[in-house]
Structure 1
Amino acid sequence: MERNDYPIVLQAKHVTQILGVAKSTTYELFASPGFPLLQLNGRKLVYRDSFFEWLDGKQKEAQ
């Protein structure tokens, strides 16, 4: 799937799918400093564009 094919607000299942990691790893990521987490009524979400900007930044750090 392309970035814009995902919904504007991503759920944990989307992040898990994009990264190809276990759901438990996704929730660890959600708790990490600097992750653009959005919490609504106890749900952990992330804006799609913020997530991909964060991911692009992590990729640049790794280079």
Structure 2
Amino acid sequence: MKNLESYPEVLDVSHIQQILGIGRVQAYQLVSSNQFHYVRVGKRRIKIFKEVFLKWLAGQES
């Protein structure tokens, strides 16, 4: 597992997969659950600020 600091400031769904050790479908389901803020760029790209994701992961409000 990579050090969290080595990930970019804006994450892709693939980064969420790597951080949590989950599959692609699970990662997309998590993002679409609206538990944390994300931005859709065009029709296919989803971006998540690393800070927002890590706060969610730690159980903090974003």
Q: Unaligned stretches of 5+ in structure 1?
A: 59-63
Residue 30 (structure 1) aligns with = 31
**CA distance in structure 1 between the aligned counterparts of 2:33 and 2:3, rounded to whole angstroms:** 25
**Structure 2: gaps of 5 or more residues:** none
Residues 16-41 of structure 1: per-residue CA shift (max 9 Å, x gap): 00000001000000110322211112
Q: Which segment is superposed worse, 5-14 or 28-37?
A: 28-37
Runs of 4+ in 1 over 2 A off after TM superposition: none
Q: What letter is aligned with 1:22?
A: G
Instruction: Look up the SS of the partner of 1:45 in the other structure.
Output: strand
User: Comparing both structures, which one devotes a greater share of its residues to helix?
Assistant: 1
Q: Is the 8 A contact 1:35 1:54 kept in 2?
A: yes
TM-score (norm 1): 0.80
| TM-score, scaled to structure 2 | 0.81
Name the count of aligned residue pairs.
58
Between the aligned residues of both structures, percent identity stands at 31
